[in-house]
């Protein structure tokens, strides 16, 4: 089976992971249009690694009350929320990206960022590294501010004051996920990008391409939690096969949907038609 082979032709052993396979949600439609989808992400026990918040191709021009409420609910549920930063294959300026990052942190208290259309060539490594260093510093700065002015203490945070009693510093540190940066390449980038990101999206596309895809040889040097695959147009009858492809290629985070990009549709905006079945398939029995 071609999808179980490295480009060199050698069979690849199933990936071993410190954690079980889980979901990475690339971004629902606006919460006002997709309330069921956003509510589903806060379900207890959902194997969810992260979810992307995209207000309007980024943070938008002003705080959105629907997105504020959605982000607050996910944070209460312990979900890692990533702000959507569109890099446009490296054509967006450093200043634009940093400005968007500030607004995501100040308004929505995100836990990190999803760098959509992240560049993948070696020539763009240095500029990407500059951006990443700044983003990580901003996340650390925001965490320190939140520790000094916790929500509920009377200080005005991204969700307003007095929404809940303020936990102590140790409780806050234990409850929230570490800052994270996910690079949305959609293909295998130069291996140097693995040194910059917490996770790389090395496949984003349709099922007919995915089932015959191959992992780059260099990915075998990294654990599954470093890679994510986003696949649309996966028929219900092929869910198990898609999970096998992900495991053999060493991806610890996935998103599969039966929705497609036909007629210009965004396949990621809504729940798959087989959501409950997918959750059951990716549960403890699918542990690596």
Nearest of 184, 190, 254 to residue 219 by alpha carbon: 190
**Pairing outcome for strands 180-184 and 199-206:** parallel
Contact 179, 233 (CB under 8 A): no
Question: Which pairs count as long-range contacts for 91-98, CB under 8 Å and 24+ apart, including other chains?
Answer: 94/127, 94/130, 94/131, 94/134, 97/131, 97/135, 98/131, 98/134, 98/135, 98/138
Q: How many residues belong to the chain? A: 288
* Angstrom distances, CA of residue 68 to CA of 78, 87, 213, 264: 15, 23, 38, 28
Q: C-alpha dihedral over 51, 56, 62, 67, to 10 degrees? A: -40
> How far is the C-alpha of 223 from the C-alpha of 226, rounded, in Å?
6
pLDDT at 283 (0 to 100): 72
Q: What global pTM score does this model have?
A: 0.85
Average model confidence (pLDDT) across the chain: 86
Contact 213, 249 (CB under 8 A): yes
Here the tokens at position 14 are 């199933």
pLDDT at 32 (0 to 100): 95
Contact 213, 1 (CB under 8 A): no
What digits encode the pLDDT tens for the residues 118-159? Answer: 999 999 999 999 999 999 999 999 888 877 776 544 444 444
Number of H helices, E strands in the chain: 8, 8
**170 membership: H or E segment, kind and range:** helix 169-175
Give the rounded percent of residues in the chain with a pLDDT score beyond 90. 76
Contact 37, 29 (CB under 8 A): yes
Here the tokens at position 255 are 């998103």
φ/ψ of residue 39, rounded to 5: -65, -35
pLDDT at 94 (0 to 100): 97
pLDDT at 168 (0 to 100): 52
Contact 281, 240 (CB under 8 A): yes
- What number is the average pLDDT over the span 209-236? 97
What digits encode the pLDDT tens for the residues 166-202? Answer: 455 454 444 455 679 999 999 999 999 999 999 999 9
């Amino acid at each position: 089976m071609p999808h179980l082979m490295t480009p060199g032709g050698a069979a690849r052993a199933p990936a071993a992971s410190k954690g079980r396979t889980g979901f990475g949600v690339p971004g629902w439609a606006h919460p006002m249009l997709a309330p069921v989808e956003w509510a589903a992400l806060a379900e207890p026990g959902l194997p969810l690694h992260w979810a992307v918040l995209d207000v309007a191709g980024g943070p938008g021009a002003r705080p959105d009350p629907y997105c504020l409420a959605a982000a607050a609910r996910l944070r209460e549920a312990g979900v890692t929320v990533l702000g959507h930063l569109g890099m446009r294959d490296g054509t967006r300026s450093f200043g634009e990206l940093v400005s968007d990052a500030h607004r995501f942190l100040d308004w929505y208290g995100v836990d990190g960022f999803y760098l959509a259309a992240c560049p993948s060539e070696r020539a763009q490594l240095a500029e990407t590294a500059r951006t990443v260093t700044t983003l990580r510093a901003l996340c650390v700065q925001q965490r320190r501010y939140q520790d000094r002015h916790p929500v509920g203490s009377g200080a005005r945070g991204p969700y307003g004051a007095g929404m809940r009693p303020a936990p102590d510093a140790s409780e806050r540190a234990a409850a929230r996920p570490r800052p994270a940066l996910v690079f949305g390449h959609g293909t295998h980038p130069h291996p140097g990008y693995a040194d910059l990101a917490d996770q790389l999206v090395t496949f984003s596309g349709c099922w007919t391409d995915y089932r015959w895809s191959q992992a780059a040889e260099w990915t075998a040097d990294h654990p599954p939690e470093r890679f994510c695959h986003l696949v649309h147009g996966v028929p219900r009858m092929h869910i198990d096969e898609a999970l096998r492809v992900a495991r053999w290629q060493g991806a610890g985070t996935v998103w599969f949907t039966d929705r497609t990009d036909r007629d210009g549709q965004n396949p990621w905006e809504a729940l798959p038609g087989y959501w409950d079945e997918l959750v059951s398939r990716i549960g403890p029995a699918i542990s690596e």
